[in-house]
Structure 1
Amino acid sequence: MRQLTLDLLPESPPSLDNFVPGANAETVAALTEWLAGSRPDTSFCLYGEAGCGRSHLLLASGFAYVDTALNPSLTGVGASEALAVDNVDQLDADGQIALFALFNQMKMDGGLLLTAAPQPPAHLALREDLRTRLGSGLIYRLQPLSDAEKAAAIATLARERALKLSPETIGYLLRHVSRDMRTLAMLVVALDQYTLEQKRPVTLPLLRELLSLEHDA
Protein backbone atom coordinates (compact mmCIF):
# COMPACT_ATOMS: atom_id res chain seq x y z
CA MET A 1 0.00 0.00 0.00
CA ARG A 2 1.44 3.34 -1.03
CA GLN A 3 2.24 5.95 1.57
CA LEU A 4 0.01 9.03 1.62
CA THR A 5 1.19 12.15 3.43
CA LEU A 6 -0.49 15.51 3.88
CA ASP A 7 2.53 17.23 2.37
CA LEU A 8 1.80 15.54 -0.97
CA LEU A 9 -1.88 16.47 -1.12
CA PRO A 10 -3.11 19.12 -3.52
CA GLU A 11 -4.16 22.32 -1.79
CA SER A 12 -6.27 25.22 -2.97
CA PRO A 13 -4.48 28.56 -2.64
CA PRO A 14 -5.87 30.69 0.21
CA SER A 15 -8.66 32.96 -0.98
CA LEU A 16 -11.48 34.98 0.51
CA ASP A 17 -13.91 32.47 -0.98
CA ASN A 18 -12.41 29.44 0.75
CA PHE A 19 -11.97 31.17 4.11
CA VAL A 20 -14.44 29.85 6.69
CA PRO A 21 -15.60 33.04 8.49
CA GLY A 22 -17.52 31.63 11.44
CA ALA A 23 -18.02 34.60 13.76
CA ASN A 24 -15.75 36.76 11.58
CA ALA A 25 -18.22 37.78 8.87
CA GLU A 26 -18.01 41.47 9.84
CA THR A 27 -14.20 41.39 9.82
CA VAL A 28 -14.05 39.67 6.43
CA ALA A 29 -16.57 42.18 5.01
CA ALA A 30 -14.49 45.11 6.30
CA LEU A 31 -11.30 43.61 4.88
CA THR A 32 -12.97 43.01 1.52
CA GLU A 33 -14.09 46.64 1.36
CA TRP A 34 -10.62 47.87 2.30
CA LEU A 35 -8.93 45.66 -0.29
CA ALA A 36 -11.32 47.06 -2.90
CA GLY A 37 -10.21 50.58 -2.05
CA SER A 38 -13.48 51.58 -0.40
CA ARG A 39 -11.78 52.71 2.80
CA PRO A 40 -9.23 55.57 3.06
CA ASP A 41 -7.02 53.96 5.71
CA THR A 42 -3.42 53.08 4.84
CA SER A 43 -3.21 50.05 7.15
CA PHE A 44 -5.38 47.17 8.25
CA CYS A 45 -4.32 44.97 11.19
CA LEU A 46 -5.73 41.52 11.88
CA TYR A 47 -5.03 40.01 15.28
CA GLY A 48 -6.01 36.84 17.08
CA GLU A 49 -4.70 33.59 18.45
CA ALA A 50 -2.85 30.98 16.40
CA GLY A 51 -5.08 29.07 14.00
CA CYS A 52 -7.70 31.80 13.63
CA GLY A 53 -6.89 32.41 9.96
CA ARG A 54 -4.59 35.44 10.01
CA SER A 55 -2.07 34.04 7.52
CA HIS A 56 -4.83 32.72 5.26
CA LEU A 57 -6.32 36.19 4.86
CA LEU A 58 -2.95 37.86 4.31
CA LEU A 59 -2.13 35.38 1.56
CA ALA A 60 -5.65 35.72 0.15
CA SER A 61 -5.18 39.48 -0.20
CA GLY A 62 -2.93 39.05 -3.21
CA PHE A 63 -0.46 41.53 -1.71
CA ALA A 64 3.29 41.05 -1.71
CA TYR A 65 3.66 38.77 1.33
CA VAL A 66 6.44 38.57 3.92
CA ASP A 67 6.48 36.47 7.09
CA THR A 68 8.62 38.21 9.72
CA ALA A 69 8.96 34.96 11.64
CA LEU A 70 11.24 34.00 8.71
CA ASN A 71 12.50 37.47 7.80
CA PRO A 72 12.46 39.59 10.99
CA SER A 73 14.61 42.36 9.47
CA LEU A 74 12.44 42.69 6.31
CA THR A 75 15.56 42.09 4.26
CA GLY A 76 14.92 42.80 0.60
CA VAL A 77 11.42 44.19 1.23
CA GLY A 78 10.86 47.51 -0.50
CA ALA A 79 8.01 49.96 -0.81
CA SER A 80 5.01 48.43 -2.52
CA GLU A 81 1.52 49.48 -3.52
CA ALA A 82 0.21 46.57 -1.49
CA LEU A 83 2.21 44.78 1.22
CA ALA A 84 1.16 42.08 3.69
CA VAL A 85 3.40 41.62 6.74
CA ASP A 86 2.62 38.52 8.80
CA ASN A 87 3.63 38.00 12.44
CA VAL A 88 4.54 41.66 12.77
CA ASP A 89 5.29 41.04 16.45
CA GLN A 90 8.40 39.10 15.37
CA LEU A 91 10.13 42.12 13.80
CA ASP A 92 13.63 42.77 15.11
CA ALA A 93 15.05 46.28 15.63
CA ASP A 94 16.06 46.67 11.98
CA GLY A 95 12.74 45.32 10.80
CA GLN A 96 10.81 47.79 12.95
CA ILE A 97 12.78 50.69 11.51
CA ALA A 98 12.19 49.34 8.01
CA LEU A 99 8.44 48.91 8.50
CA PHE A 100 8.13 52.39 9.99
CA ALA A 101 9.78 53.83 6.89
CA LEU A 102 7.68 51.64 4.59
CA PHE A 103 4.48 52.75 6.32
CA ASN A 104 5.35 56.42 5.85
CA GLN A 105 6.27 55.89 2.20
CA MET A 106 3.12 53.91 1.48
CA LYS A 107 0.95 56.53 3.17
CA MET A 108 2.42 59.21 0.91
CA ASP A 109 2.04 57.02 -2.18
CA GLY A 110 -1.47 55.81 -1.40
CA GLY A 111 -0.32 52.23 -0.77
CA LEU A 112 -1.97 49.61 1.43
CA LEU A 113 -0.31 47.80 4.34
CA LEU A 114 -1.95 44.66 5.76
CA THR A 115 -0.46 43.26 8.98
CA ALA A 116 -1.19 40.41 11.38
CA ALA A 117 -0.19 39.62 14.96
CA PRO A 118 -1.44 37.77 18.04
CA GLN A 119 -2.34 41.06 19.77
CA PRO A 120 -3.53 44.51 18.64
CA PRO A 121 -0.75 47.02 17.85
CA ALA A 122 -1.02 48.83 21.19
CA HIS A 123 -0.07 45.62 23.03
CA LEU A 124 2.90 44.63 20.87
CA ALA A 125 6.51 44.99 22.03
CA LEU A 126 7.41 47.32 19.16
CA ARG A 127 8.81 50.83 18.85
CA GLU A 128 6.29 53.39 20.05
CA ASP A 129 6.29 55.25 16.74
CA LEU A 130 5.58 52.01 14.85
CA ARG A 131 2.83 51.01 17.28
CA THR A 132 1.28 54.44 16.76
CA ARG A 133 1.37 54.08 12.97
CA LEU A 134 -0.13 50.60 12.98
CA GLY A 135 -2.70 51.65 15.57
CA SER A 136 -3.88 54.54 13.40
CA GLY A 137 -5.44 52.24 10.84
CA LEU A 138 -8.22 49.68 10.89
CA ILE A 139 -7.87 46.99 13.57
CA TYR A 140 -10.01 43.85 13.67
CA ARG A 141 -9.87 40.75 15.82
CA LEU A 142 -10.24 37.30 14.29
CA GLN A 143 -12.15 34.81 16.42
CA PRO A 144 -11.18 31.12 16.20
CA LEU A 145 -13.81 28.76 14.89
CA SER A 146 -15.80 26.82 17.46
CA ASP A 147 -15.93 23.04 17.25
CA ALA A 148 -19.48 23.29 15.90
CA GLU A 149 -18.35 25.74 13.18
CA LYS A 150 -15.44 23.47 12.23
CA ALA A 151 -17.78 20.47 12.08
CA ALA A 152 -20.18 22.42 9.84
CA ALA A 153 -17.29 23.50 7.59
CA ILE A 154 -16.05 19.91 7.26
CA ALA A 155 -19.56 18.74 6.43
CA THR A 156 -19.88 21.44 3.74
CA LEU A 157 -16.52 20.53 2.19
CA ALA A 158 -17.54 16.87 2.14
CA ARG A 159 -20.92 17.60 0.54
CA GLU A 160 -19.20 19.59 -2.21
CA ARG A 161 -17.35 16.36 -3.08
CA ALA A 162 -20.45 14.18 -2.71
CA LEU A 163 -18.70 12.58 0.24
CA LYS A 164 -20.91 11.28 3.04
CA LEU A 165 -19.40 11.93 6.47
CA SER A 166 -21.34 10.94 9.55
CA PRO A 167 -21.28 13.14 12.68
CA GLU A 168 -19.27 10.35 14.31
CA THR A 169 -16.60 10.54 11.59
CA ILE A 170 -16.39 14.33 11.79
CA GLY A 171 -16.10 14.12 15.57
CA TYR A 172 -13.26 11.63 15.25
CA LEU A 173 -11.38 14.00 12.93
CA LEU A 174 -11.75 16.87 15.38
CA ARG A 175 -10.47 14.73 18.25
CA HIS A 176 -7.53 13.05 16.51
CA VAL A 177 -6.19 15.48 13.90
CA SER A 178 -4.65 18.95 14.05
CA ARG A 179 -7.63 21.24 14.45
CA ASP A 180 -6.64 24.00 12.02
CA MET A 181 -8.94 24.26 9.02
CA ARG A 182 -6.10 23.92 6.50
CA THR A 183 -5.26 20.43 7.77
CA LEU A 184 -8.91 19.43 8.15
CA ALA A 185 -9.73 20.59 4.61
CA MET A 186 -6.75 18.68 3.21
CA LEU A 187 -7.92 15.55 5.00
CA VAL A 188 -11.34 15.81 3.41
CA VAL A 189 -9.58 15.85 0.01
CA ALA A 190 -7.44 12.88 1.05
CA LEU A 191 -10.45 10.95 2.33
CA ASP A 192 -12.34 11.56 -0.90
CA GLN A 193 -9.35 10.33 -2.93
CA TYR A 194 -8.85 7.30 -0.69
CA THR A 195 -12.48 6.17 -0.84
CA LEU A 196 -12.33 6.28 -4.65
CA GLU A 197 -9.10 4.27 -4.70
CA GLN A 198 -10.41 1.68 -2.26
CA LYS A 199 -13.96 1.68 -3.67
CA ARG A 200 -15.28 1.69 -0.10
CA PRO A 201 -17.63 4.08 1.70
CA VAL A 202 -16.37 6.26 4.52
CA THR A 203 -16.31 4.42 7.84
CA LEU A 204 -14.30 4.93 10.99
CA PRO A 205 -12.05 1.93 10.18
CA LEU A 206 -11.34 3.39 6.74
CA LEU A 207 -10.57 6.80 8.25
CA ARG A 208 -8.19 5.24 10.80
CA GLU A 209 -6.56 3.31 7.97
CA LEU A 210 -5.99 6.52 5.99
CA LEU A 211 -4.51 8.34 8.97
CA SER A 212 -2.18 5.41 9.69
CA LEU A 213 -0.68 5.56 6.18
CA GLU A 214 1.54 8.47 7.19
CA HIS A 215 3.35 6.20 9.60
CA ASP A 216 3.74 3.18 7.32
CA ALA A 217 7.30 2.28 6.39
Structure 2
Amino acid sequence: MLKSPTLFHTASPMRQLILDLLPDSPPTLDNFVPGGNAETLTAFTGWLAGTRAETSFCLWGEAGSGCSHLLLASGFTYVDAAIDRGLAKAAASGQLAVDHVDELNADGQIALFNHFNRLKMAGGMLLTAAPQPPAHLALREDLRTRLGSGLIYRLQPLSDAEKAEAIAAQAKERALKLSPEAINYLLRHAPRDMRTLSMLVVALDQYTLEQKRPVTLPLLRELLNLEANA
Protein backbone atom coordinates (compact mmCIF):
# COMPACT_ATOMS: atom_id res chain seq x y z
CA MET A 1 0.00 0.00 0.00
CA LEU A 2 1.23 3.51 -0.73
CA LYS A 3 2.50 5.50 2.21
CA SER A 4 -0.13 8.03 3.20
CA PRO A 5 0.61 11.64 2.29
CA THR A 6 -2.25 12.79 4.48
CA LEU A 7 -0.17 12.56 7.63
CA PHE A 8 2.04 15.48 6.62
CA HIS A 9 1.09 18.47 4.53
CA THR A 10 4.39 19.80 3.23
CA ALA A 11 7.71 18.31 2.22
CA SER A 12 9.95 19.64 4.99
CA PRO A 13 13.08 17.56 5.78
CA MET A 14 11.46 16.21 8.94
CA ARG A 15 8.26 15.27 7.13
CA GLN A 16 10.19 13.55 4.37
CA LEU A 17 12.23 11.65 6.95
CA ILE A 18 9.08 10.33 8.62
CA LEU A 19 7.55 9.39 5.28
CA ASP A 20 10.74 7.44 4.56
CA LEU A 21 10.52 5.73 7.94
CA LEU A 22 6.91 4.62 7.53
CA PRO A 23 7.06 0.96 6.53
CA ASP A 24 5.14 -0.74 3.79
CA SER A 25 2.55 -2.74 5.70
CA PRO A 26 0.13 -4.61 3.45
CA PRO A 27 -3.14 -5.51 5.18
CA THR A 28 -3.15 -9.11 6.36
CA LEU A 29 -5.31 -11.18 8.67
CA ASP A 30 -2.38 -11.31 11.10
CA ASN A 31 -2.04 -7.52 11.43
CA PHE A 32 -5.78 -6.93 11.77
CA VAL A 33 -6.65 -5.91 15.33
CA PRO A 34 -10.04 -7.53 16.07
CA GLY A 35 -10.98 -5.76 19.28
CA GLY A 36 -14.62 -6.68 19.86
CA ASN A 37 -14.91 -8.33 16.43
CA ALA A 38 -13.61 -11.77 17.35
CA GLU A 39 -16.85 -13.51 16.35
CA THR A 40 -16.97 -11.71 13.00
CA LEU A 41 -13.31 -12.49 12.32
CA THR A 42 -13.88 -16.18 13.12
CA ALA A 43 -16.84 -16.33 10.73
CA PHE A 44 -14.86 -14.48 8.06
CA THR A 45 -11.78 -16.69 8.24
CA GLY A 46 -13.98 -19.78 8.27
CA TRP A 47 -15.79 -18.62 5.13
CA LEU A 48 -12.47 -17.88 3.43
CA ALA A 49 -11.37 -21.40 4.31
CA GLY A 50 -14.46 -22.85 2.64
CA THR A 51 -16.29 -24.04 5.73
CA ARG A 52 -19.50 -22.27 4.64
CA ALA A 53 -21.37 -22.76 1.38
CA GLU A 54 -22.68 -19.20 0.98
CA THR A 55 -21.55 -17.44 -2.17
CA SER A 56 -21.28 -13.99 -0.62
CA PHE A 57 -20.01 -12.43 2.57
CA CYS A 58 -20.85 -8.80 3.35
CA LEU A 59 -18.94 -6.79 5.93
CA TRP A 60 -20.47 -3.52 7.03
CA GLY A 61 -19.45 -0.80 9.43
CA GLU A 62 -18.50 2.83 9.72
CA ALA A 63 -15.33 4.27 8.26
CA GLY A 64 -12.26 3.06 10.13
CA SER A 65 -13.86 -0.16 11.36
CA GLY A 66 -11.56 -2.31 9.21
CA CYS A 67 -13.75 -3.45 6.31
CA SER A 68 -11.29 -2.36 3.63
CA HIS A 69 -8.42 -3.96 5.56
CA LEU A 70 -10.14 -7.35 5.54
CA LEU A 71 -11.14 -7.12 1.89
CA LEU A 72 -7.54 -6.41 0.92
CA ALA A 73 -6.29 -9.13 3.30
CA SER A 74 -8.58 -11.73 1.72
CA GLY A 75 -6.34 -12.15 -1.31
CA PHE A 76 -9.37 -11.81 -3.60
CA THR A 77 -9.35 -9.64 -6.71
CA TYR A 78 -10.04 -6.24 -5.15
CA VAL A 79 -12.12 -3.45 -6.70
CA ASP A 80 -13.01 -0.18 -4.95
CA ALA A 81 -16.42 0.94 -6.18
CA ALA A 82 -15.74 4.43 -4.85
CA ILE A 83 -13.14 4.69 -7.64
CA ASP A 84 -14.54 2.28 -10.24
CA ARG A 85 -18.27 2.92 -9.86
CA GLY A 86 -19.15 0.91 -12.95
CA LEU A 87 -16.94 -2.07 -12.05
CA ALA A 88 -15.26 -1.71 -15.42
CA LYS A 89 -12.04 -3.16 -13.97
CA ALA A 90 -13.65 -6.08 -12.15
CA ALA A 91 -12.10 -9.17 -13.70
CA ALA A 92 -13.96 -12.44 -14.11
CA SER A 93 -12.24 -13.83 -11.04
CA GLY A 94 -13.44 -16.75 -8.98
CA GLN A 95 -12.87 -14.69 -5.83
CA LEU A 96 -13.98 -11.07 -6.06
CA ALA A 97 -13.90 -8.38 -3.35
CA VAL A 98 -15.88 -5.20 -3.98
CA ASP A 99 -15.40 -2.37 -1.50
CA HIS A 100 -17.89 0.50 -0.98
CA VAL A 101 -20.71 -1.23 -2.89
CA ASP A 102 -22.99 1.65 -1.90
CA GLU A 103 -21.03 3.80 -4.39
CA LEU A 104 -21.92 1.67 -7.43
CA ASN A 105 -23.66 3.45 -10.27
CA ALA A 106 -26.39 1.82 -12.39
CA ASP A 107 -23.88 0.02 -14.63
CA GLY A 108 -21.89 -1.14 -11.63
CA GLN A 109 -24.97 -2.57 -9.94
CA ILE A 110 -25.85 -4.55 -13.05
CA ALA A 111 -22.26 -5.74 -13.29
CA LEU A 112 -22.20 -6.87 -9.65
CA PHE A 113 -25.53 -8.65 -10.09
CA ASN A 114 -24.04 -10.53 -13.05
CA HIS A 115 -20.84 -11.27 -11.11
CA PHE A 116 -22.90 -12.69 -8.23
CA ASN A 117 -24.82 -15.02 -10.54
CA ARG A 118 -21.62 -16.10 -12.31
CA LEU A 119 -19.85 -16.83 -9.04
CA LYS A 120 -22.82 -18.72 -7.63
CA MET A 121 -22.96 -20.94 -10.70
CA ALA A 122 -19.20 -21.54 -10.64
CA GLY A 123 -18.87 -22.07 -6.90
CA GLY A 124 -16.93 -18.84 -6.54
CA MET A 125 -16.89 -16.32 -3.72
CA LEU A 126 -18.00 -12.67 -3.53
CA LEU A 127 -16.85 -10.42 -0.69
CA THR A 128 -18.39 -6.97 -0.30
CA ALA A 129 -18.22 -4.07 2.13
CA ALA A 130 -20.48 -1.10 2.82
CA PRO A 131 -21.34 1.31 5.64
CA GLN A 132 -24.73 -0.39 6.15
CA PRO A 133 -26.14 -3.91 5.67
CA PRO A 134 -27.43 -4.76 2.18
CA ALA A 135 -31.10 -4.26 3.08
CA HIS A 136 -30.44 -0.59 3.85
CA LEU A 137 -28.40 0.22 0.75
CA ALA A 138 -29.78 2.26 -2.15
CA LEU A 139 -29.21 -0.51 -4.69
CA ARG A 140 -31.34 -2.41 -7.19
CA GLU A 141 -33.79 -4.67 -5.40
CA ASP A 142 -32.48 -7.78 -7.15
CA LEU A 143 -28.90 -6.94 -6.11
CA ARG A 144 -29.93 -6.21 -2.52
CA THR A 145 -31.68 -9.57 -2.46
CA ARG A 146 -28.59 -11.38 -3.75
CA LEU A 147 -26.25 -9.70 -1.27
CA GLY A 148 -28.75 -10.23 1.53
CA SER A 149 -28.86 -13.98 0.86
CA GLY A 150 -25.29 -14.48 2.03
CA LEU A 151 -23.44 -13.98 5.30
CA ILE A 152 -23.68 -10.47 6.75
CA TYR A 153 -21.52 -9.29 9.65
CA ARG A 154 -20.91 -5.92 11.24
CA LEU A 155 -17.44 -4.68 12.16
CA GLN A 156 -17.37 -2.50 15.25
CA PRO A 157 -14.69 0.22 15.34
CA LEU A 158 -12.06 -0.16 18.02
CA SER A 159 -12.55 1.88 21.16
CA ASP A 160 -9.75 4.17 22.31
CA ALA A 161 -8.99 1.69 25.09
CA GLU A 162 -8.67 -1.15 22.55
CA LYS A 163 -6.43 0.97 20.32
CA ALA A 164 -4.25 1.89 23.30
CA GLU A 165 -3.98 -1.77 24.27
CA ALA A 166 -3.00 -2.75 20.73
CA ILE A 167 -0.38 0.02 20.49
CA ALA A 168 1.08 -1.01 23.85
CA ALA A 169 1.28 -4.65 22.75
CA GLN A 170 2.98 -3.75 19.45
CA ALA A 171 5.47 -1.50 21.25
CA LYS A 172 6.23 -4.27 23.76
CA GLU A 173 6.97 -6.69 20.91
CA ARG A 174 9.65 -4.25 19.75
CA ALA A 175 10.98 -3.58 23.25
CA LEU A 176 9.90 0.02 22.71
CA LYS A 177 9.05 1.84 25.91
CA LEU A 178 5.83 3.77 25.40
CA SER A 179 4.27 5.39 28.45
CA PRO A 180 0.48 5.70 28.75
CA GLU A 181 0.95 9.44 28.19
CA ALA A 182 2.80 8.79 24.92
CA ILE A 183 0.10 6.41 23.72
CA ASN A 184 -2.62 8.90 24.59
CA TYR A 185 -0.70 11.58 22.71
CA LEU A 186 -0.60 9.39 19.60
CA LEU A 187 -4.33 8.75 19.86
CA ARG A 188 -5.05 12.46 20.16
CA HIS A 189 -2.74 13.75 17.44
CA ALA A 190 -2.14 10.98 14.89
CA PRO A 191 -4.61 9.60 12.34
CA ARG A 192 -6.93 7.30 14.24
CA ASP A 193 -7.08 4.26 11.98
CA MET A 194 -5.28 1.30 13.52
CA ARG A 195 -3.15 0.54 10.50
CA THR A 196 -1.57 4.00 10.48
CA LEU A 197 -1.07 3.87 14.24
CA SER A 198 0.69 0.52 13.86
CA MET A 199 2.92 1.96 11.14
CA LEU A 200 3.78 4.88 13.40
CA VAL A 201 4.87 2.50 16.17
CA VAL A 202 7.34 0.96 13.70
CA ALA A 203 8.50 4.39 12.52
CA LEU A 204 8.87 5.54 16.12
CA ASP A 205 11.00 2.49 16.93
CA GLN A 206 13.27 3.20 13.98
CA TYR A 207 13.45 6.91 14.73
CA THR A 208 14.44 6.44 18.38
CA LEU A 209 17.21 4.07 17.32
CA GLU A 210 18.51 6.52 14.73
CA GLN A 211 18.35 9.48 17.10
CA LYS A 212 19.53 7.46 20.13
CA ARG A 213 16.81 9.10 22.19
CA PRO A 214 14.04 7.60 24.34
CA VAL A 215 10.39 8.20 23.56
CA THR A 216 9.28 11.47 25.09
CA LEU A 217 6.40 13.78 24.27
CA PRO A 218 8.79 16.27 22.62
CA LEU A 219 10.10 13.47 20.43
CA LEU A 220 6.56 12.48 19.51
CA ARG A 221 5.77 16.07 18.60
CA GLU A 222 8.88 16.08 16.45
CA LEU A 223 7.92 12.81 14.82
CA LEU A 224 4.43 13.94 13.96
CA ASN A 225 5.64 17.41 13.01
CA LEU A 226 2.95 19.13 15.00
CA GLU A 227 5.11 22.04 16.07
CA ALA A 228 6.30 24.74 13.71
CA ASN A 229 9.93 24.18 14.68
CA ALA A 230 9.82 20.39 14.20
TM-score, length-normalised on structure 1? 0.96
The yes-or-no answer on 1:59 pairing with 2:72 is yes
Cα displacement string for residues 26-51 of structure 1 (whole angstroms, at most 9, x for unaligned residues): 00000000000000000000000000
Q: Distance in 1 between matches of 2:106 and 2:227?
A: 41
SS state at 2:225 partner: helix
SS state at 2:37 partner: helix
In structure 2, what residue type is equivalent to 1:193? Q
The yes-or-no answer on 1:109 pairing with 2:122 is yes
Quote how far apart the aligned CAs of 1:9 are: 1.7
Quote how far apart the aligned CAs of 1:213 are: 7.8
In structure 2, what residue type is equivalent to 1:34? W
The yes-or-no answer on 1:50 pairing with 2:52 is no
Quote how far apart the aligned CAs of 1:109 are: 0.2
The 1:6/1:213 distance shift into structure 2, 3 A limit, reads farther
The 1:175/1:105 distance shift into structure 2, 3 A limit, reads same
- Deviating beyond 2 angstroms after TM superposition, the runs of 4 or more aligned structure 1 residues are 1-8, 213-217
- Contact 2:109–2:140, Cα closer than 8 Å, also in 1: yes
Q: Distance in 1 between matches of 2:114 and 2:161?
A: 43
Which of 95, 99, 119 does residue 112 from structure 2 map onto?
99
The 1:95/1:214 distance shift into structure 2, 3 A limit, reads farther
Q: CA RMSD in A?
A: 1.7
Quote how far apart the aligned CAs of 1:112 are: 0.2
**Equivalent residue number for residue 207 of structure 1:** 220
The 1:108/1:48 distance shift into structure 2, 3 A limit, reads same
TM-score, length-normalised on structure 2? 0.90
The 1:101/1:83 distance shift into structure 2, 3 A limit, reads same
- Contact 2:113–2:142, Cα closer than 8 Å, also in 1: yes
Q: Which runs of 5+ in 1 are unaligned?
A: none
- Contact 1:4–1:214, Cα closer than 8 Å, also in 2: no
The yes-or-no answer on 1:123 pairing with 2:132 is no
- Contact 2:79–2:89, Cα closer than 8 Å, also in 1: no
Q: Distance in 2 between matches of 1:204 and 1:101?
A: 54
The 1:164/1:65 distance shift into structure 2, 3 A limit, reads same
In structure 1, what residue type is equivalent to 2:61? G
Cα displacement string for residues 102-134 of structure 1 (whole angstroms, at most 9, x for unaligned residues): 100100000000000000000000000000000
| Percent identity over paired residues | 77
Q: Distance in 1 between matches of 2:83 and 2:160?
A: 31
Superposed, 1:131-210 pairs within 5 Å as 131-210=144-223
Quote how far apart the aligned CAs of 1:11 are: 2.3
Q: Distance in 2 between matches of 1:88 and 1:170?
A: 35
The yes-or-no answer on 1:10 pairing with 2:26 is no
Q: Which runs of 5+ in 2 are unaligned?
A: 1-12
The 1:43/1:215 distance shift into structure 2, 3 A limit, reads farther
Cα displacement string for residues 127-170 of structure 1 (whole angstroms, at most 9, x for unaligned residues): 00000000000000000000100000000111111101000000
In structure 1, what residue type is equivalent to 2:158? L
Q: How many residues align?
A: 217
